[in-house]
Every structure is written in C-alpha cells, then in structure tokens.
C-alpha cells in the first residue's frame, strides 16, 4: 500500500513520542513501515529534513499569546508534550534560525514591548536559548530517570522555569524602560 510522505512523518512522530530521539533512525522507521530503508529517500530528502518537519509539528499547538510570558510558557508546554521535543526543535532551530514561527513571534512581541528591531532579535534569541536549554535538561533528566541512572529528587521544574523566565522578562523591561527614557 502506497507509502507517502505523510505516512513516514506519522510513523516518525510515533517513534519519537513512544521511544525518543535515540530510537528514531531511518532504518527503524523503515522497519516499522515494512519497507526497505532506501524507499524513504524517494519521499524525503534526508533525516535532517524529516526532523525539521517534526519540529514544525511539535510547535504547531502553540497559540497566539499576546504576552512574551504567555508565549514562552506555551512553547515550553508544546515541547514538553513530545518526548525529546526540545532537542528536536533545537536541532531545527540551529540549522535554520528563521524557521520556527513561534520563535519569530517571540521577536515580534518583544518589539511591541518597546525594543528596537536588533535588540528584539537578540532578546528573542536569548529567550529561545533559555527555553530550549531548560526544557532539554528537563527531558534529559526524565530520560535518565526512566533508564534508572538517576534518583528522582527533581525540585519543582515548573517553578525553576518560571524563575528563569522572570529574570529575562524583568531584564527586558528594564532595558525597554532605559531605551524609552534615554
């Protein structure tokens, strides 16, 4: 039965959700779809391309929050909802920093906060680094915990994320205020 790009993407997302990024290989994907590995390359360019598509799907549920804070929390939620979601998005972002639209939207929102275009870009990038780094660490710890390589004495990840986010936003507010009065 006709293999399509859609089937491949669905199966890939399934492996990612259930087994994580380490188990998402092109050969494993082919096995699950009951085709030869080479067949995948008729429908997709390469693995990187596939991961970029997955990154887009992971971020799809992110809504249209009007505050940087709300958007940041939404992005974190979307990343957390897929195993290794942060790592996949970080990879896609590294290869094409203009691709993930919620990250671009972050930039737009910061401009609305009174930052110049250049500063808004830098600020949004810094915030994106923080979000992706923090969630990657959360998900890595979750993975180590599953593997029994860690004792689960994790102190409130929600609170720590919000604290770090608060640091950023209060720094942004101070910078915007300084620019307005300067």
Positions that interact with a copy of itself (CB under 8 A) = 90, 94-95, 97, 118-119, 121-123, 125-126, 128-130, 132-134, 136-137, 140, 144, 155, 159-160, 163-164, 166-172, 174-175
182: contact with DNA by CB under 7 A: no
Q: Which is nearer to DNA, 50 or 73 (CB)?
A: 50
Segment lying near DNA (by CB under 7 A), choices 31-39, 53-61, 153-161, 174-182 = 31-39
CA distance 49 to 65: 28
Of 19-27, 63-71, 72-80, 98-106, which part binds DNA (CB under 7 A)? Answer: 19-27
Q: Which of 19, 41, 163, 174 binds DNA (CB under 7 A)?
A: 41
Number of C-beta neighbours around residue 37 at 10 A:
14
**Least Å from the CB of residue 104 to a copy of itself:** 15
Residue 12 · residue 24 · CB < 8 Å: yes
Distance between CA 124 and CA 128 in Å, rounded?
Answer: 6
Cβ distance to DNA smaller for residue 39 or 144: 39
Q: Which part of the chain contacts DNA (CB under 7 A), choosing from 20-28, 83-91, 98-106, 162-170?
A: 20-28
Range 135-138, long-range pairs (CB < 8 A, 24+ positions)? 135/76, 135/79, 135/80, 135/85, 135/86, 135/161, 136/86, 136/87, 136/90, 138/80, 138/86
């Amino acid at each position: 039965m006709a293999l399509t790009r859609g089937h491949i993407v669905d199966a890939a997302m399934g492996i990612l959700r259930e087994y994580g990024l380490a188990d998402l290989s092109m050969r494993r994907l082919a096995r699950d779809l009951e085709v030869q590995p080479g067949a995948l390359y008729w429908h997709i360019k390469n693995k990187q391309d596939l991961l970029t598509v997955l990154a887009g799907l992971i971020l799809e549920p992110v809504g249209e929050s009007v505050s940087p804070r709300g958007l940041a929390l939404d992005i974190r939620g979307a990343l957390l909802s897929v195993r290794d979601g942060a790592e996949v998005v970080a990879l896609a972002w590294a290869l094409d920093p203009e691709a993930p639209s919620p990250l671009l939207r972050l930039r737009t929102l910061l401009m609305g906060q009174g930052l110049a275009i250049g500063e808004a870009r830098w600020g949004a990038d810094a915030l994106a680094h923080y979000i992706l780094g923090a969630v990657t660490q959360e998900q890595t710890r979750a993975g180590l915990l599953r593997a029994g390589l860690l004792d689960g004495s994790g102190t409130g990840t929600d609170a720590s994320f919000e604290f770090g986010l608060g640091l950023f936003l209060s720094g942004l507010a101070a910078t915007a205020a300084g620019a307005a009065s300067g």
